[in-house]
C-alpha cells in the first residue's frame, strides 16, 4: 500500500515535469502556460489508460461479481489517491496561468487566487474530494472483501478521458476545424455515454443477474450507501454529458454554408 502511494506520488509529478521540459525542447516558442496545460492533459490521459486497463483486467477476470477477487481492484486505488491530489494542484496551476494571461495580478497561492479557482472549478474539485474522502475508504475498507468487480467497473469510466484530452489538445493547436477533431468528438460522445452513463445501469444489471432477480429490484437489495455513492458519482457525469452534447450540436450542427 504505502509503496504504491509513494511510487504514484513521484510518478505523476515526475511525468508532468518531464513533459514540460520535453515540450520546451520540441516547441521552444510555446509559453510556459501552454506547456503546463498540454503536459497536464498528457499525464491525465496516461492515468486514464492505466485506470481503464486495470478496470478491464479486473472485470474480465472475475466471474462472481460479489465475492470474486483481483489484486488490482485494491492496489490501483492507492494509485488513484495521490493522482487526485496531484490533479487538483495541476488544475489550480493551469487556472492561475490562464488568469495571468488575462491580466489578473493575483499572487500565486494567495487566498484570493485559491478562492477564485474553487469558485470556477467547484464541481470538478468536489468530484475529486468525493473520490478522496468518500470513495477511497468505501473501496478500501468499508466494503470488506466484496465487490472487486464493481470497483473494476468504476475504473473503466476513465475510457473517455484520453479523447476529451485529445479534443482540448487539438483546440490548443488550433485544429478544431480538422477532421480528426470531429471524429474525436464522436468518440468522446460514445465513450462517455457508455462508460460514464450506461456503466451504472450495467452494474445494477450485473448484480441482478448474479442474484437472480429482476433489474428493478437490484437497488433495493444492495446497501443504501452503494446507491448513494452511485447517485453522487453519476450526477456530475450527467451534467458533463449535457455539456458535451451541446458542444457536439455546435460542432456538427452548423453546415458549411452557415460557416461561410
The stretch 113-125 carries a mean pLDDT of: 86
- The total of other beta-carbon atoms located within 10 Å of residue 136's CB is 17
Q: Which pLDDT band holds residue 14 (cuts at 50, 70, 90)?
A: very high
The answer on pLDDT for 60 being more than 70 is yes
Q: What is the pTM of this model?
A: 0.85
The residues spanned by each domain of the chain are: 2-178
d(CA 134, CA 152): 17
CA distances in angstroms from 47 to 19, 60, 91, 166, 179, listed in the order given: 14, 20, 15, 14, 26
11-34 core/surface letters (b: 16 or more CB in 10 A; e: else): bbbebbeebbeebeeeeeebeeeb
Q: Which pLDDT band holds residue 212 (cuts at 50, 70, 90)?
A: very high
The answer on pLDDT for 255 being more than 70 is no
Half-sphere exposure of 187 (CA within 13 A, CB side): 15
Q: Which pLDDT band holds residue 256 (cuts at 50, 70, 90)?
A: very low
The stretch 145-154 carries a mean pLDDT of: 90
Which pLDDT score, from 0 to 100, does residue 254 have?
59
- The total of other beta-carbon atoms located within 10 Å of residue 200's CB is 17
The answer on pLDDT for 253 being more than 80 is no
Amino acid at each position: 500500500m504505502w509503496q504504491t502511494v509513494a511510487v504514484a506520488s513521484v510518478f505523476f509529478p515526475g511525468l508532468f515535469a518531464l513533459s514540460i521540459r520535453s515540450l520546451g525542447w520540441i516547441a521552444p516558442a510555446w509559453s510556459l502556460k501552454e506547456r503546463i496545460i498540454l503536459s497536464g492533459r498528457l499525464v491525465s490521459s496516461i492515468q486514464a489508460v492505466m485506470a481503464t486497463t486495470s478496470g478491464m483486467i479486473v472485470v474480465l477476470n472475475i466471474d462472481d461479481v460479489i465475492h470474486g477477487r483481483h489484486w488490482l481492484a485494491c492496489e490501483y486505488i492507492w494509485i488513484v489517491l495521490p493522482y487526485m491530489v496531484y490533479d487538483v494542484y495541476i488544475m489550480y496551476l493551469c487556472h492561475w496561468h490562464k488568469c495571468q494571461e488575462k491580466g489578473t495580478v493575483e499572487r500565486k497561492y494567495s487566498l484570493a487566487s485559491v478562492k477564485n479557482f474553487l469558485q470556477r472549478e467547484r464541481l470538478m474539485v468536489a468530484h475529486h474530494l468525493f473520490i478522496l474522502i468518500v470513495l477511497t475508504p468505501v473501496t478500501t475498507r468499508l466494503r470488506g472483501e466484496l465487490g472487486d468487480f464493481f470497483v473494476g467497473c468504476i475504473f473503466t469510466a476513465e475510457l473517455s478521458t484520453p479523447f476529451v484530452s485529445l479534443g482540448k489538445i487539438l483546440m490548443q493547436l488550433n485544429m478544431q476545424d480538422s477532421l480528426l477533431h470531429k471524429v474525436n468528438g464522436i468518440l468522446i460522445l460514445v465513450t462517455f455515454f457508455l462508460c460514464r452513463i450506461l456503466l451504472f445501469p450495467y452494474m445494477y444489471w450485473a448484480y441482478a443477474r448474479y442474484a437472480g432477480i429482476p433489474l428493478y429490484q437490484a437497488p433495493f437489495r444492495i446497501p443504501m450507501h452503494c446507491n448513494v455513492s452511485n447517485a453522487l458519482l453519476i450526477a456530475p457525469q450527467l451534467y458533463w454529458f449535457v455539456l458535451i452534447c451541446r458542444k457536439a450540436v455546435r460542432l456538427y450542427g452548423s453546415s458549411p454554408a452557415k460557416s461561410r
